[in-house]
Structure 1
Amino acid sequence: MKAAFADTTEIRVWDLPVRAMHWLLVIGISVCWWTGINNELEYHLWSGYAILWIVLMRLYWGVVGSSTARFVNFVRGPKSILGYASTLHRRDTPHSHGHNALGAISIVVMLGLILAVVILGLFAVDVDGLYSGPLSSYITFKQGRHLAHLHYRWFNILLWVIALHLAAVIFYFFYKRRNLIGPMLHGKRPVDAGDAAETEMQGAPFWRFVIGAVIATAIVYAVSIGFYF
């Protein structure tokens, strides 16, 4: 056993922006859920803006960010997805560097659902019309109420997808003996020493993140004032 551990090392798998956006999204969705069920609509709106900013940044970082953050490096076609799914029952499947083929579906679906829920909320109108999304002025009251119902329904769908995501994390931890939470906290995971050079995450310069942050902030601000400049 000692010899086996001697041939392992730790490599970076997630950069700080990915990890920060992941946990901030967890907090943001939790706040949105709590403020929604407690009718704290003012705070619900602000948490929605925060989530919109995070999602926009994650989409941006998925194009220009670190190697494991880029969609092109982990989104796979049907053949790869089915091939990976057929090995789920095995405990000795190779560890994917970053998201595996099924995990990629989860990430894309969740980001898509979150963005859809936020957009619906931007147009939604409260039952008494006191609290409305910043873009509700572009539609009728009836349309705003309809989108508010869709906002609620799609958020519930999102919660089920999140529950499925958590179930997958638990499955990997207990059945496959792979800790997916740890790397999302500290950014590293153990690998065979000989594979370290091949799988090491390639980072992205900080100035790219700054540019994306400025763009995302400008978009969220424009949305928050209903594009009335």
Structure 2
Amino acid sequence: MHKYLLEKIWDPLTRLWHWVLAVVVSLGWFFGEFMSFTRIEWHFYCGYTVLGLLAVRLIWGFIGPTPIRFSSLFFRPSALLNYARTLPKRSPSGTPGHNPLGSLSVLALLLLLTAQALSGLFIESDVFFETGPLAYLVTEATMSSLAWWHGLLAKCILVVVVLHVAAIFYYWLWKKENLIKPMITGWKWVKRAQVTKDKNP
């Protein structure tokens, strides 16, 4: 590890936010996929919680530590391509935060969760007769369309989550880089000569 430095990357709020979101999204998916008269209510509660967590992330993305800010999630196309070429190498990436490809998954997940949770505010369950708190503001046609999108977005989120977990195992088994432990302890091995000039200002 002489080429790397152990640095504190993830702050306590970010780490707590990450794990709470993972639990709530998992529960929301379960209550939605295996819905019943009792579970649908909890499905809505999970949706409200996700919206609250997204609001926290939005604020923290502007005022939080550098690795968690939105400005750290945007890379030039050249940086994305250069990083993609390093994926087959059996060595840790050592990035001080999200790597260029990981940042894309973060942005995709945040956008999908936002759209998913917001759409849930306007829909009605045809089976259990439960409605979102803002369903009265839209027509039945709009409600039906949003319900379709709500279901599609759930599938898209599942795909992104599966890819996210697969990437974690790939880094762990192939690149010998544990991405889970830093999100628990906050400490991460980072390359000494980490280049950041490819990032957008």
TM-score in terms of structure 2 length:
0.88
**Residue in structure 1 matched with residue 70 of structure 2 by the alignment:** 71
Q: Is the 8 A contact 1:62 1:71 kept in 2?
A: yes
**Residue in structure 2 matched with residue 32 of structure 1 by the alignment:** 28
Change (3 A) 1:110 1:163: same
Q: Larger helix proportion, structure 1 or 2?
A: 1
**Distance of 2:153 and 2:172 partners within structure 1:** 29
Deviation at residue 185 of structure 1 after TM alignment = 0.7
TM-score in terms of structure 1 length:
0.78
**Distance of 1:147 and 1:76 partners within structure 2:** 32
Q: Which amino acid aligns with 2:147?
A: A
Q: Which moved more, 1:171-180 or 1:126-135?
A: 126-135
**Residue in structure 2 matched with residue 112 of structure 1 by the alignment:** 111
Deviation at residue 190 of structure 1 after TM alignment = 3.3
The answer as to 2:120 corresponding to 1:121 is: yes
Deviation at residue 184 of structure 1 after TM alignment = 0.4
Structure 1 portions without partners, runs of 5+: 200-229
Q: Is the 8 A contact 1:126 1:145 kept in 2?
A: no
Deviation at residue 65 of structure 1 after TM alignment = 0.3
**Residue in structure 1 matched with residue 186 of structure 2 by the alignment:** 187
**Residue in structure 2 matched with residue 144 of structure 1 by the alignment:** 143
**Distance of 2:76 and 2:164 partners within structure 1:** 20
1:10-25 aligned within 5 A: 10-25=6-21
Q: Which amino acid aligns with 1:156?
A: K
Q: Is the 8 A contact 1:87 1:93 kept in 2?
A: no
Deviation at residue 73 of structure 1 after TM alignment = 2.1
**Distance of 1:42 and 1:129 partners within structure 2:** 10
**Residue in structure 1 matched with residue 50 of structure 2 by the alignment:** 51
**Distance of 1:105 and 1:34 partners within structure 2:** 25
1:159-207 deviations in whole A, cap 9, x for unaligned?
0011011111111000000000000011112357xx49x99xxxxxxxx
**Distance of 1:152 and 1:54 partners within structure 2:** 21
Structure 2 portions without partners, runs of 5+: 197-201
Q: Name the count of aligned residue pairs.
A: 192
1:128-139 aligned within 5 A: 128=127, 130-139=129-138
Deviation at residue 148 of structure 1 after TM alignment = 1.2
Q: Is the 8 A contact 2:91 2:177 kept in 1?
A: no
Change (3 A) 1:160 1:109: same
**Distance of 2:81 and 2:178 partners within structure 1:** 23
Q: The residue matched to 1:10 in structure 2 has which SS? A: strand
Deviation at residue 94 of structure 1 after TM alignment = 4.4
Task: Give the percent of matched residue pairs that are identical in Structure 1 and Structure 2.
Answer: 33
Give the greater-gyration-radius structure (CA). Answer: 1
**Residue in structure 2 matched with residue 92 of structure 1 by the alignment:** 91
Change (3 A) 1:74 1:141: closer
